């Protein structure tokens, strides 16, 4: 190895980033509050950006921090704040057997992927190509996007446009569903909200102003 000190440093940074990556990933899945899940995902994305940097993908790392850890996660946090206590959800569904089965299934997925990969390509994975320092730089990526991958670039822009239009359509209010918390159309669901610890487990009359407003409509 030509740079022994640099190599050790990169190893140390890599191990820290990889540990943080997997650890925050586990935290995203296991945290009970969606808010801490989202915050852990930000840490996950940041440590992934470090791994991208070490794999000489500078532009992908920058885009990861800007687009993911910045824009996308802010959107997530806004929605979690909008939903408030309703965003809290029970940890797992189904019976104990289904939970064990899902853990086993994901473990088997990992094992099968790694075994197949290392068996088929194990010998070829260790000799990386020699790359120059411009590999993965914004200039190189931009040149490829505007020459070899122009179609992918344009399709990406159309996908983003369609997603933006779809988001607007999904977010449009119709007058029937205008109130949140909603009027007294689903008494059984309102009772579950009132029994929620986020509302202090109060009775429906105390918990939501929806109950009072609907009774006013009845009187009129």
Q: Kindly identify the residues of this chain, within the stretch 132-171, that bind another protein according to CB under 8 A.
A: 135-136, 140-141, 144-145, 148-149, 152, 156, 159-160, 162-164, 166-167, 170-171
Among 107, 187, 195, 212, binds another protein (CB under 8 A): 107
| Calpha distance 38→29 (Å, rounded) | 10
> Closest approach of Cβ 213 to another protein, in Å?
15
Radius of gyration of the chain, Cα coordinates, nearest whole angstrom: 25
| Calpha distance 68→74 (Å, rounded) | 9
Rule CB under 8 A: is residue 114 a binding residue for another protein? yes
- Cα angle 130, 122, 18 (rounded to 5 degrees) comes to 75
Rule CB under 8 A: is residue 116 a binding residue for another protein? no
Among 46, 65, 81, 94, binds another protein (CB under 8 A): 94
Among 186, 209, 212, 213, binds another protein (CB under 8 A): 186
| Calpha distance 136→59 (Å, rounded) | 6
Rule CB under 8 A: is residue 207 a binding residue for another protein? no
- Burial class from Cβ neighbours inside 10 Å (0-12, 13-18, 19+) for residue 167 reads exposed
Among 46, 50, 65, 72, binds another protein (CB under 8 A): 72
Compute CA 15 distance to the chain's CA centroid, rounded to the nearest angstrom.
23
Rule CB under 8 A: is residue 65 a binding residue for another protein? no
Rule CB under 8 A: is residue 197 a binding residue for another protein? no
> Closest approach of Cβ 149 to another protein, in Å?
5
| Calpha distance 81→84 (Å, rounded) | 5
């Amino acid at each position: 190895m030509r740079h022994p000190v640099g190599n050790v440093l990169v190893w140390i940074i890599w191990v820290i980033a990889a540990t943080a990556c997997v650890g925050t990933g586990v935290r995203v899945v296991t945290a009970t509050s969606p808010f801490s899940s989202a915050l852990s995902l930000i840490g996950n994305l940041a440590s992934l950006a470090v791994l991208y940097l070490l794999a000489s993908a500078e532009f992908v790392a920058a885009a990861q921090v800007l687009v993911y850890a910045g824009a996308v996660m802010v959107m997530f946090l806004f929605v979690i704040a909008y939903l408030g206590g309703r965003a809290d959800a029970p940890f797992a569904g189904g019976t104990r057997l289904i939970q064990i089965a899902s853990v086993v299934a994901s473990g088997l997925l990992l094992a099968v992927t790694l075994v197949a990969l290392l068996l088929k390509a194990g010998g070829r994975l260790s000799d990386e190509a020699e790359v120059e320092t411009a590999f993965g730089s914004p200039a190189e990526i931009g040149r490829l996007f505007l020459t070899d991958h122009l179609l992918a670039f344009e399709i990406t822009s159309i996908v983003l446009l369609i997603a933006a239009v779809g988001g607007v359509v999904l977010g449009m209010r119709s007058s029937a569903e205008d109130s949140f918390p909603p009027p007294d159309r689903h008494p059984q669901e309102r009772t579950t909200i009132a029994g929620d610890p986020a509302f202090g487990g109060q009775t429906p009359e105390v918990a939501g102003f929806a109950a009072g407003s609907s009774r006013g409509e009845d009187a009129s």
